Structure 1
Amino acid sequence: MARLYAILLTFWPLCIGLQSQHKSKDNCVFQGDEDTSSFYQGGDVVLGGIFPLHSSPISSLFSFRTKPKPTMYKFFTPRALRWMQTMIFAVREINQRQDLLPNLSLGYHIRDSGDDIAVSVKRSLLIVNGQPERGSGQSCEDTQKQPSPVIVGDAASGISMAVLRTLGSFKIPLVSYFASCSCLSNKREFPAFMRTMPSDLFQIKALVKLVHYFQWTWVGVIGVDSDYARFAIQLFLKESQRFNICPAYVHFYPVVLMQDAVEELVNILKTSSATVTVNFSGESELHSILKECRRQNVTHLQWIASEAWATSKVLWEDFGDLLKGTLGFAIRRADIPHLSSYLRRVNVSVAQTSHFLSEFWEETFRCRLNGSLNTHAHGEVAQNWPPCNGNESLDDVYTPYSDVSQLRVSYNVYKAVYLIANALHDMSTCVPGKGPFQNGTCGSLYQILPWQLLYYMKRTHFTTLGEEVRFDDNGDPIASYDLMNWQRGSDGSLQLVRVGFYDASLEEDTDLIIDEPVIMWHRGEKAPESLCSQSCLPGSRKARQKGKPVCCFDCIPCAEGEISNQTDSNDCLTCSKETWPNQARDQCIPKTLEFLSFQEPLGIILWAFSAFGACAALAVLVVFIMYRKTPVIRGNNMELSFLLLLFLCTCFLIGLTFIGKPTDWLCRIRYPAFGISFTLCISCILAKTVVVLMAFRATLPGSNVMKWFGPAKQRSSVIFCTCVQGLICIIWLTTKPPVAAYNTKFMSATIIVECAVGSEIGFWCVLGYIGFLACMCFLMAFLARKLPDNFNEAKFITFSMLIFFAVWITFIPVYVSSRGKYMVAVHVFAILASAFGLLLCIFAPKCYIVLLKPEKNDKKHMMKK
């Protein structure tokens, strides 16, 4: 009610003042209490200023029966007084320059906002409306304090929004030096707003990148219940999602903190597993929180400061042990020449000329000036302070007012004044007829219209103290922050050490630079951990815990054939067909190539047997050639025997083509050579069997069947049978030939280099034709097995075909069920076994007779039954 009462009273002088612009004969009448607490100096143009010199008003009950007493405040802010003095210093500096506004003098009208919306709105209206002398009855043009067409202020975003909603209808510019809420960049809602303070949008990006840099994924977020904190936290949570940062808690606490609200907040801080806390508030609200943290022994937190308190040395005096190691982004600092000497010129006599300076003097030296009215919470105590003796000096004490080591907000105030001055300078240099307004008109400097001044301000860019100051379309400066670390000096004082910076004008990956070795942490020498779950090492992936934030997860090892080569991988990556995970499953390594090699034992054994078989066949051939004229050799179709031995030698050697790394050409040679060589062998055996069978038929009276089975016909039959197999192979090779293939299907960590048959039909047709010839040969041999010749080959051929069938029938299931080099080994084994079976069954008995039983190698013995 008291705030509403103050606001309603404030609107009366505004309305009357605005009416006086149209009716100059009307008198200005000031409604309400006269407010004389201000810094004021007249000029051609008077710049307004609002600064939170006091904060935390003490609430009191109003009976509405008596006039309320002046508002009392808990805190007096010497830092804000420095901001006020910086504005005055900048105005006086500009007035002394000849290159900037040489024909125009600036003035100032500066008031205390009380860090309160109602008070700030009221005093803003007093500034833009002017203030007549009470009871003067003068017209508005003759008021004691001139109206201001522009205001420098306020510090708080919420208060700035309230002032803008009041003054926005009149297009009166407001240039803030500390209001950072991104909501103020909305030009549709706040068209008359500009600032020298970067938007929170950039501060939030910097804070999120800072948290991400140290891999803090589980952080607490708290803030005062104000527009500034609400918008900032909303942006922080949204930006955090990009980097998978989760809030352990989000808590807003009231501006006026009662004990129960403080205890509730500290209990949240105490019970949470998050060790990093980001706080969006001012220094006054944080004071009560830190006091309760100390009482409950909550001393483990790593604080991340918003720019509102990132450089506040006041908090260090009482809570240095809790705030050591704090990190926060602060706006860029600057050294303003001669400002320090200007601030220190205040003495007892100067302090008595201003209510603000008097209160500052009393608060600093705990003494009482004659005639002062201290509105501080200690006002009653101040009455008991001893009188000031006049020997007090700012050189003897430390006060934030005279501390110019961290001129950040003060520099923003300085730039705000220069922004307005440069805009006025541009207006003064405008050439009539070439102006930016209708019909080429220029803005008037003698009756300044705020909307015209705002036009020039938005398009002004200038250089001050070596920095080029520019503004974007929203009236925001290009963001640049220093990363500050709170460190304890050797004398126990706070040392704000610059440990990095953030520059929004740089590229995304290089906009944040941190000098990590310089950082002093709250506890220990390393950055603290703040995680909901421990990081998943390479070789595993994150599996989100049901019902919990994304930062809370379990670590699951990657599945077979997958890797993760980064910490905290969300998914495992599948290795390519040519690679396989190593034992740690953090990288893909080339798979082992598997094929039947000449160097391995199995390959050597098969190679040895192949060579031995070929040599054995050649040895038998040599024996047959040497004893070709003997009855045993001549009586068993010598020419076909010679051919059979050559083809058996070839079959043994064909086995060698299955050993070694397959290539396309080797695969295209391997299978046709295998099929044709065995076809030649079986064709020869079939021809020998038919000849034996027909020879017995030829002994019957009147039979002339042998004329159809002479040597030429035998050779022709072998060639014909082989040509059929050759035709099958040609069709196979021309349609879908065998190729070398890298098979990863069956053995995960191994690539099987094999010969893919290409056409399965072609492969089984080759085997099937060999089987068909073998069946025909077996049938013929079986029919001729009991013929009366002493050395009848039909018996041996029958046994050889039985072995042949046993080998290849066994081969089929084993071949189909085998993989890799063992499949090839089975194939080679089948070739060798069947070839040895033919060689031994057919030729071993003859060699036995020829070499060991020569007495049986005669015609008489052969004819014996």
Structure 2
Amino acid sequence: MHTMIYDYTSKPEPPQCSGSVDAVAVHVAFQLSNGLEPAFHPGERCSRSGMVMGVVAESGSTPSISISRIIGPFNIPQVSHFATCACLSDKQQYPTFFRTVPSDQFQAVALAKLVKHFGWTWIGAVRSTALVVVAFIAGGDMDILLKELARDPPPPRQWIGSEAWVTDTNFVSFGFCAGAIGFGIQKSVIPGLRDFLLDLSPSEVAASPLLTEFWEDAFDCKLGKNAAAGENVCDGTEDIKKLQSPYTDTSQLRITNMVYKAVYAIAHAIHNVVCHEKNFTSQCDKHSKLDSKQFFNKLKKVNFSQNGYDVSFDANGDPVAVYELVNWQKTESGDIELVTVGYYDSSLPMGQEFRINRNLSWVEGSEQVPVSVCSESCPPGTRKVLQKGKPICCYDCIPCPEGEISNATDSPDFPVL
């Protein structure tokens, strides 16, 4: 028996139309379904097409949909690490799709609960009289928005962000967003990964176009075969261990952590197919032929803990939605750093989903939760009267008429002005 786990994650490419990305995804999906990549079988001393049990793919929702529609009919499960479209939870259309990253549906609910948690009832979209602005938006779109706002900085606002941008360190240069708070995918320090990344030999670099491109960009030199006249040639003294770059920084691994969990989910499913518990010990038949449907059923039931994180899937192939609560805090030097101040766990009882374990820094460095309401509370002795044509959180505070009294805050009144 030979089992192959494919990780199809496209490397960063120049901006292009989504159609070309989908075309590549479809092409690779057909290759995987047909088992075109050869695999060597030591027992049979021969080479033949590999048997694809699972695919770790893709980072985007649109190509994930394309892949799922091709490999799904073959009962080949797909585990995505970063496709967040709520549509992929539809098991009628995507029965073999799983993911280790929470769906946007969970994040939308979490953002709404965050707003409710801090008592904000008047929320803006970019500009309004509201103090709090919720930006549930893709990173590229947020970049355009913030660059436009930077040309004429707006009055201080409390930004609430989605994971697509609030944990992206490229945005911390926008100082007017200091105090922002939002959700981040759980980060992790993956054991052994840093040592693995730093253990690059010159022969490995030269043999890989991707590593060659990375090496030349990181050290601003050209490998001998690529060097043109007058260009700086890599001379072998380059030390990757001294390199300060996102490649060597393994302390903020968020998406990578989702890939890590996806690979282990597939590995656990395979183990549960070929291994059986007997007399409190595992007995594994490594030569048994793996059945794709049997493997698919085992993947649906995986439930384990890896590197301090629980991994399981619900009936829709979604994980339990757990997010870090990330706060943009200014340091003494004036820089902004991303600080994890708590967590959100959708599996906890209603009202207990948030766990905040550190002080938050709000807009303008305030330590007090900002107030963002359309109308301030009406004190005792007055009553609330709704403003015509406005949301129900907008009202006037009218003194009680003669002969009537109110001894509570926000006493209601139903007539509309």
Whether 1:456 and 2:298 are equivalent positions in the alignment is yes
CA spacing shift, 1:58–1:191, aligned 2, 3 Å:
closer
Determine the C-alpha separation between the residues in 2 that align with 1:278 and 1:384. 52
Residue of structure 2 in register with 1:554 after alignment: 396
1:700-757, Cα deviation, whole Å (9 max, x unpaired): xxxxxxxxxxxxxxxxxxxxxxxxxxxxxxxxxxxxxxxxxxxxxxxxxxxxxxxxxx
Give 3-state SS (helix, strand or coil) of 1:155's partner: coil
Whether 1:189 and 2:35 are equivalent positions in the alignment is no
Give 3-state SS (helix, strand or coil) of 2:182's partner: strand
Residue of structure 1 in register with 2:343 after alignment: 501
Residue of structure 2 in register with 1:402 after alignment: 248
Q: With CA pairs under 8 Å and 6+ residues apart, which has the higher RCO, 1 or 2?
A: 2
Whether 1:46 and 2:4 are equivalent positions in the alignment is yes
Whether 1:119 and 2:77 are equivalent positions in the alignment is no
1:477 to 319, 329, 340: 319
Whether 1:519 and 2:360 are equivalent positions in the alignment is yes
Determine the C-alpha separation between the residues in 2 that align with 1:182 and 1:172. 21
Determine the C-alpha separation between the residues in 2 that align with 1:45 and 1:464. 22
Letter paired with 2:223: L
Give 3-state SS (helix, strand or coil) of 2:365's partner: coil
Letter paired with 2:118: F
Determine the C-alpha separation between the residues in 1 that align with 2:236 and 2:332. 33
CA spacing shift, 1:169–1:537, aligned 2, 3 Å:
farther
Residue of structure 1 in register with 2:184 after alignment: 330
Give 3-state SS (helix, strand or coil) of 2:163's partner: coil
Give the TM-score taking structure 1 as reference length: 0.42
Identity %: 38
Give 3-state SS (helix, strand or coil) of 1:405's partner: coil
Residue of structure 2 in register with 1:355 after alignment: 209
Residue of structure 1 in register with 2:282 after alignment: none
Give 3-state SS (helix, strand or coil) of 1:555's partner: strand
2:79 to 175, 182, 205: 175
Residue of structure 2 in register with 1:165 after alignment: 69
CA spacing shift, 1:455–1:546, aligned 2, 3 Å:
same
Cα distance, 1:511 vs. partner?
1.5
Give 3-state SS (helix, strand or coil) of 1:482's partner: strand
Residue of structure 1 in register with 2:263 after alignment: 417
Determine the C-alpha separation between the residues in 2 that align with 1:547 and 1:120. 50
Is the 8 Å Cα contact of residues 80 and 99 (structure 2) preserved in structure 1? yes
2:55 to 138, 143, 151: 151
Is the 8 Å Cα contact of residues 55 and 115 (structure 1) preserved in structure 2? no
Determine the C-alpha separation between the residues in 2 that align with 1:558 and 1:187. 56
Is the 8 Å Cα contact of residues 135 and 159 (structure 2) preserved in structure 1? yes
Give the TM-score taking structure 2 as reference length: 0.82
Q: Return the index of the structure with the highest Cα Rg.
A: 1
Q: Counting strand residues as a fraction of each chain, which structure ranks higher? A: 2
Give 3-state SS (helix, strand or coil) of 2:52's partner: coil
Is the 8 Å Cα contact of residues 150 and 174 (structure 2) preserved in structure 1? no
Cα distance, 1:56 vs. partner?
5.6
Determine the C-alpha separation between the residues in 2 that align with 1:384 and 1:292. 41
Q: Counting helix residues as a fraction of each chain, which structure ranks higher? A: 1
Residue of structure 2 in register with 1:365 after alignment: 219
Alignment of 1:73-222 (within 5 A): 116-131=21-36, 146=50, 148-220=52-124
2:235 to 389, 392, 401: 389
Root mean square deviation of aligned Cα: 3.5
Give 3-state SS (helix, strand or coil) of 1:352's partner: helix
Determine the C-alpha separation between the residues in 1 that align with 2:108 and 2:356. 16
Letter paired with 2:395: F
CA spacing shift, 1:192–1:116, aligned 2, 3 Å:
same
CA spacing shift, 1:391–1:477, aligned 2, 3 Å:
same
Letter paired with 1:54: P
Alignment of 1:58-69 (within 5 A): 58=16
Q: Which runs of 5+ in 2 are unaligned?
A: 39-45, 278-284
Letter paired with 1:522: V
Cα distance, 1:508 vs. partner?
0.9
Letter paired with 1:46: M
Is the 8 Å Cα contact of residues 179 and 365 (structure 2) preserved in structure 1? no
Give 3-state SS (helix, strand or coil) of 1:406's partner: coil
Cα distance, 1:541 vs. partner?
4.3
CA spacing shift, 1:114–1:570, aligned 2, 3 Å:
farther
Whether 1:563 and 2:406 are equivalent positions in the alignment is yes
Give 3-state SS (helix, strand or coil) of 2:24's partner: helix
Whether 1:283 and 2:131 are equivalent positions in the alignment is no
Is the 8 Å Cα contact of residues 544 and 550 (structure 1) preserved in structure 2? yes
Cα distance, 1:362 vs. partner?
3.1
Letter paired with 1:325: G
1:621-642, Cα deviation, whole Å (9 max, x unpaired): xxxxxxxxxxxxxxxxxxxxxx
Q: Which runs of 5+ in 1 are unaligned?
A: 1-42, 60-112, 134-140, 221-248, 250-268, 374-381, 432-442, 573-865
Determine the C-alpha separation between the residues in 2 that align with 1:366 and 1:492. 31
Determine the C-alpha separation between the residues in 2 that align with 1:115 and 1:332. 31
Residue of structure 1 in register with 2:385 after alignment: 543
Aligned length: 399
Determine the C-alpha separation between the residues in 2 that align with 1:114 and 1:314. 27
Determine the C-alpha separation between the residues in 2 that align with 1:566 and 1:115. 59
